[in-house]
Amino acid sequence: MSTTIVHLVRHGEVYNPEKILYGRIPGYHLSSRGHSMAARTAESFRGHDVTYLVASPLQRTQETAQPISKVTGLDVEIDKSVIESGNRFEGLRTKGWNSQLWNPQRWPLLRNPMQPSWGEPFEEIAARMVNAVERARDKAEGHEAIIVSHQLPIVMVQRTALGKRLAHAPWDRECDLASVTSLVFQDDQLIDIFYSSPAQDI
């Protein structure tokens, strides 16, 4: 029997002075704090037996993966299936009293938060992420793999692994910036899941 660990790393803080929902919009890079977060999380993998490193194609995940690449000595492979979830509110302010979601023209997209009706269905996100985890487990069998991705895709894996329903309230998520969700497999069976936040004090 072999033990394999697949680590899911969320990217660091993004430079977003307009405070919009950037989603899959290209060009959003890490802030200076985000780079510090990425470096701290990368250091947490020093001495680990990591043999496979993959990241979403978006700039913020690529930048988060770079210090991990330096620590592990691995090239960063790109996997489009671990990209941020699709969202029809990209480019809008979605929080606070200045939220553009107060516009009644956008309310039809809010009709079903259980799906959610404004973006990529939870089931589809979970399916592509679970498949990515399986590929990583297979490529790093007997060792460790790292997938650098985004909050909601990682949460979908967490909830799937824990047997929780995919629909949830955003404030119930445990997936801080630059955090690590680790899935432990015995052969192809998931036997444990644990969470850490190496950059929480930055």
E strand intervals along the chain:
3-10, 50-55, 77-78, 144-149, 180-186, 189-196
Q: pLDDT band at residue 96, thresholds of 50, 70 and 90?
A: confident
Of all residues in the chain, what percent carry a pLDDT higher than 70? 100
Q: What is the pLDDT of residues 152-196, one digit of tens each?
A: 999 999 999 999 999 999 888 999 999 999 999 999 999 999 999
So what's the architecture of 1-16+29-84+119-194 in CATH?
3-Layer(aba) Sandwich (3.40)
d(CA 23, CA 87): 7
Instruction: Please report, for the chain, the start and end positions of each structural domain, with discontinuous segments joined by +.
Output: 1-16+29-84+119-194
Tokens of 62: 């690529």
Pairing of strands 180-186, 189-196: antiparallel
Whether this prediction's pTM lies above 0.85 is answered by yes
What's the pLDDT score for residue 7?
Answer: 98
Closest residue by Cα to residue 6 from 200, 150, 188, 199: 188
The predicted structure's pLDDT at residue 139: 97
Residue 6 has pLDDT above 90, yes or no: yes
Residue type, 158: Q
- What is the pairing mode between strands 180-186 and 3-10? antiparallel
